[in-house]
Structure 1
Amino acid sequence: MMGVAREELFQVGTVIGTHGLRGDLKVRPLTQGSASLLEARSLSLRQAGGEEYASYRLKKASVHKGIILLRLEGLESIDAVAPLKGAEVFMPLADLPEAEVDESYWYELQGAEVVDRRLGSIGTLEDVFTTPAHDVYVVQGRYGEVMIPAVDEFILEFDAQNACLRVDLPLGLVDEGRED
């Protein structure tokens, strides 16, 4: 086990169970890009709602039916990993591959102001979730909760330096009659 500071970590998934008898963990990735954890050298786990992180070297990683299977050094039996169900999985920011052009990591987007071409500021990007087709951004702001499909037609650009996501939303996606 190794120690890592929280600000150096990026959440990539959640442990949903065990696989086999050798201590493999079944991890549901948080976003489509979370498959990058297959390349990680080490991972940190934190019990849901907990504050402490335990870091491990990654021994083995593979994808099985959309779920990522991990084997971590020092956790090599089902008894060792069974208590980890529900734990959050983090990887060091330094291990993340460079984002592709016109792509960003969740930690870069979180908290960004979302500005629509027509409506102006609609709120703050609070969450992201994955669907089979695409990610969905959850924005909280003056129109309540707005869910924005993260597709090229709606996302114009992300200005990381100013933490601003510029969008062009279709009529009807935002309930303009409701201002909080």
Structure 2
Amino acid sequence: MTDNGKPSEQLVTVGRVTTVYGVRGWVKVHSYTEPMDNILQFPKWWLRGPKGWEPLDIDAGKRHGKGLIIHVKGMDDRDLAAQLCQRDIAIARDLMPELEQGEYYWHQLVGLRVISRFGGEEHDFGNVARMMETGANDVLVVRGGVDKRERLIPYLPGQFIADIDLEAGVITVDWDPAF
């Protein structure tokens, strides 16, 4: 599926416009990047609209308090800026920095099948529905599987995460099915 000339599978969601800031067209942005202001380094943004992804031209952005604010080129009115709120921000996948061996972006893990080999038996836990940041460590939110349960599995490679095979679409975990 293509949205406004950019194949949507080539885009990665990296943040969300949350609310307006001030009266001159600035908006607050919740960034999913780490650190949060890394989102400002990407030269071209896309905004999810009612008809798909639309290009978003940013002419200014900065940290403000505990968050970020940005200004969209040519948008100097609070009411116009309000139309951007509660919409996802994406960037082209090929703009994302290369990772070291054994490192993964969250979007690569979402959707993967999770198999546990706890106690020498194989258990199908379902798929990664989303990732969650807890402060101590990231967590896989896994739903489905044979028992249709939701599981929260700490993303701790070498401890609970035994293997990640992107090509096969499988994460192997060492996690008790009773939890």
- Return closer, same or farther for 1:150/1:32 CA change in 2, 3 Å cut-off: farther
TM superposition shift of 1:95: 1.5
Aligned to 1:135: 138
**Structure 1: how far apart are the matches of 2:146 and 2:63?**
40
Aligned to 1:147: 152
* Unaligned runs of at least 5 residues, structure 1: none
Q: % of aligned pairs identical?
A: 27
Aligned to 2:17: 15
TM superposition shift of 1:66: 4.1
- 1:94-136 CA distance string (max 9 Å, x none): 2111123322123321211112231523211111222333322
Instruction: Give 3-state SS (helix, strand or coil) of 2:6's partner.
Output: coil
**Structure 1: how far apart are the matches of 2:64 and 2:160?**
32
**Structure 2: how far apart are the matches of 1:40 and 1:18?**
21
**Structure 1: how far apart are the matches of 2:167 and 2:35?**
22
User: Alignment RMSD, CA only?
Assistant: 2.5
* Unaligned runs of at least 5 residues, structure 2: none
The one-letter amino acid paired with 2:133 is: T
- Return closer, same or farther for 1:162/1:56 CA change in 2, 3 Å cut-off: same
- Return closer, same or farther for 1:111/1:83 CA change in 2, 3 Å cut-off: same
Q: TM-score, normalised by structure 2?
A: 0.79
Contact kept? 1:31, 1:129, Cα under 8 Å: no
**Structure 2: how far apart are the matches of 1:76 and 1:134?**
40
**Structure 2: how far apart are the matches of 1:129 and 1:34?**
15
TM superposition shift of 1:155: 2.1
Q: TM-score, normalised by structure 1?
A: 0.79
Contact kept? 1:111, 1:125, Cα under 8 Å: yes
Aligned to 2:90: 90
TM superposition shift of 1:54: 1.5
